Amino acid sequence: MKINSRSDLDFMERIQQEVTAHRGASRSDETYYAAKLAEVWHRAEQTPAYASLGTFSPRALLDLRATSKDDLKARPLDFLRVPVDAGLKYYQTTGTTGLPTPTPRTAQDMIANTVSVAEAWRPLLADGGHRALILLPSDIVPVADLMVGVCEFLGVPHVKAYPYTTGISDWDRIIGLWEVFRPTVLFVAPGVLLEFSQVIKRRGLLDRLRPSVELLMLLGEVSTPELRAMAGQWWNARAYDASYGSTESGTLAACCAQDRLHLLRGANYFEIADGDGIVPADPGREGRLVVTPLNNDARPLLRLDMGDEVSLTDGCPCGATAPVVTVHGRGSDGTEIKGSRVRTRDLEGIVYANSDVMGYLIEVDQDGTWARLLLERDPGTDREAEPAKNALVQRHTDERLGFRWDEVRFVNRLPVTTKSGGSQKSWKRSNFRVVDEVVPA
C-alpha cells in the first residue's frame, strides 16, 4: 500500500478511524453517511455517466435510480473520473461476459479498501504470529495486491506466488518455499487450493506441509460451505469465505472468526432492492444488494445494483453488530443442464459434500439432452467405494436439482482449466465441456 506523503498518511488515519467507528450500527451514522455520500456524489458528478446529477441531498440519493452492473460493463469508461493512464494502479477484471473492464485505481482507492478490509480481519490475523502465503492465480486482477496491502498494514509477514506463471512459481517452487517459510495463513482461490491439494496428496506431502497451516482464506470466486469444510478437513485448518465484493465496487463484506460475512458499513452505504423498491439494508431483509462505496475515487459509483440476491441477518456469535450477508447469487445465475437451471453453489454442495473429490467437469451434448459428471478422485481414497458415491451424487442431484446424470464417473485427472479459479470466473468456461459425440457408458 503506497503512502509517500503526509496527505496519504492523514487519509489512511482518517479512513481507519471511520471504518472502526462505523462498523456496527450507531446513532452518529446518519450524519456520517450524509457527509460521505455528499463527497462521493461530488466525485461522481465529474464522470460522464453521472454528469447530470444535480445538487446532493439525502433525498436526491433516494430519488436516484440504481446503476446496473450491465450498464457499467457496457460503457466502463463513462464511469471513470480518472483516465485509465492516470491511476496509480491499473487492473482489468475478468468478467463473465469475457470483456475485461478497465480498472484504474488511485492511491486513495487502494488505501481506503485495504484499511477497511484489514480492520475487519484484525481480530483474525493480527497478533497471531501469522505468516501468509498469497496463492492467487493472477496479478492483473486486484485481489492479490489487496492481500499484500492487508498483510503490510497488519504487520503480517507474507509472500506471494502466482502458481500459474509457468516456469517461475510452479508447484515444486511453492513446496520448496513452503518448507522454509512455513505459512500459517493461505490467501487462496478455491480452484487453486483444490489443484495444489491434489498435487501434494499425489506426492504424499500433505502430512508434511499441513502442520503449520491454521487458516485458509478463500477468495476470488464463490466457495461453498461444503468445499470449505472439505478443504478444512484435509488441511486440519479453519477455512473461511474470506470476502465478498467485486472489482467494480471494492470489498463489501469480510469474514469474522465464525466464517460469516459482515457488511463493511464504514466504507459502504448499503441498501436492498426488493419488491418495495430500494430500502435500507436492515437485518431481516432479502433482495438484491445495492451499494454506494463511500471511498471510490477513480470510479465513483452511486447505488450500484450488484445483481446478487442476498439476505441480511444479525446476532452473529462473534459479537459484531454489522449485519451478516448471505450471498445467494444472481437470479439469472446458473446454467441449464437437462432442462434444470443449476447454480454453481448448488451443484458444488452436492459434489463436495463427502470431502473426497478434487474437482469436477460437466460434459453436455450440443442439444443439452445428455449430461455426464466427471469427478476427480482423491488420490488416497478407496476405489471400491466409488459406485456407492456415484449413486449418492445421483440421488442428491435428483432431489435437489431435479434431474439425473446420464453418467457419473470418477477419473484420475481433469483438465487444469477446471482449477484455474479466479482467472476463469466463468463457470461455463471452467467447468463445462460440450462434447460432439456421446460415447455410451
Q: Report the greatest alpha carbon distance in the chain.
A: 70
Q: Does 312 bind Zn ion (CB under 5 A)?
A: no
**Segment interacting with Zn ion (CB under 5 A) among 2-10, 75-83, 139-147, 260-268:** 260-268
**Segment interacting with Zn ion (CB under 5 A) among 48-56, 130-138, 200-208, 315-323:** 315-323
Nearest residue to 12 via CA among 128, 130, 138, 113 = 113
Distance CA 343, CA 21 (A): 37
x-marked contacts with Zn ion along 318-337 as a string, rule CB under 5 A: x-x-----------------
- Identity of the residue, 317 or 440, whose beta carbon is nearer to Zn ion in the bound complex: 317
What are the Cα distances from residue 68, in Å, to 53, 293, 432? 16, 14, 28
C-beta separation of 295 from 252 below 8 A: no
Q: Does 120 bind Zn ion (CB under 5 A)?
A: no
**Cα three-residue angle 256-261-266, rounded to 5 degrees:** 90
**Segment interacting with Zn ion (CB under 5 A) among 28-36, 69-77, 254-262, 356-364:** 254-262
**Segment interacting with Zn ion (CB under 5 A) among 16-24, 117-125, 228-236, 312-320:** 312-320
What one-character-per-residue DSSP string does 217-240 give? EE-SS---HHHHHHHHHHHTSEEE
Nearest residue to 257 via CA among 345, 125, 117, 135 = 125
> 390 CB contacts (<8 Å, ≥6 apart)?
408, 409, 410
Min separation Cβ 277 and Zn ion, Å: 29
Determine the 3-state secondary structure of 403 from DSSP: coil
Question: Exposed, middle or buried by CB within 10 Å (0-12, 13-18, 19+), for 186?
Answer: buried
Min separation Cβ 324 and Zn ion, Å: 6
Rule CB under 5 A: choose which of 256, 272, 342, 374 binds Zn ion: 256
- Identity of the residue, 262 or 303, whose beta carbon is nearer to Zn ion in the bound complex: 262
Q: Dihedral sign for Cα 99, 104, 109, 115, please.
A: positive
Min separation Cβ 385 and Zn ion, Å: 37
Min separation Cβ 321 and Zn ion, Å: 10
Rule CB under 5 A: choose which of 7, 97, 165, 258 binds Zn ion: 258
C-beta separation of 41 from 81 below 8 A: no
Nine-digit cell string for 154: 497488519
Nearest residue to 121 via CA among 97, 72, 99, 154 = 154
> 427 CB contacts (<8 Å, ≥6 apart)?
335, 344
Min separation Cβ 433 and Zn ion, Å: 39
Q: Does 261 bind Zn ion (CB under 5 A)?
A: no
Judged by CB under 5 A, the number of residues near Zn ion is 6
Site for Zn ion, residues 344 to 403, rule: CB under 5 A: none
Q: Does 316 bind Zn ion (CB under 5 A)?
A: yes
What one-character-per-residue DSSP string does 305-345 give? EEEEEEEEE---TT---SPEEEEEEETT--EEETTEEE-HH
**Segment interacting with Zn ion (CB under 5 A) among 160-168, 174-182, 252-260, 347-355:** 252-260
- Identity of the residue, 195 or 259, whose beta carbon is nearer to Zn ion in the bound complex: 259
Min separation Cβ 304 and Zn ion, Å: 25
- Identity of the residue, 241 or 297, whose beta carbon is nearer to Zn ion in the bound complex: 241
Determine the 3-state secondary structure of 82 from DSSP: coil
- Identity of the residue, 217 or 393, whose beta carbon is nearer to Zn ion in the bound complex: 217
**Segment interacting with Zn ion (CB under 5 A) among 120-128, 211-219, 313-321, 395-403:** 313-321
C-beta separation of 161 from 177 below 8 A: yes
- Identity of the residue, 25 or 411, whose beta carbon is nearer to Zn ion in the bound complex: 25
- Identity of the residue, 311 or 394, whose beta carbon is nearer to Zn ion in the bound complex: 311
- Identity of the residue, 69 or 260, whose beta carbon is nearer to Zn ion in the bound complex: 260
Min separation Cβ 275 and Zn ion, Å: 28
- Identity of the residue, 120 or 320, whose beta carbon is nearer to Zn ion in the bound complex: 320
Q: Does 260 bind Zn ion (CB under 5 A)?
A: yes
Q: What is the DSSP letter of 191?
A: H
**Segment interacting with Zn ion (CB under 5 A) among 55-63, 96-104, 133-141, 316-324:** 316-324
- Identity of the residue, 26 or 258, whose beta carbon is nearer to Zn ion in the bound complex: 258
In the complex, the residues that contact Zn ion under the rule CB under 5 A are 256, 258, 260, 316, 318, 320
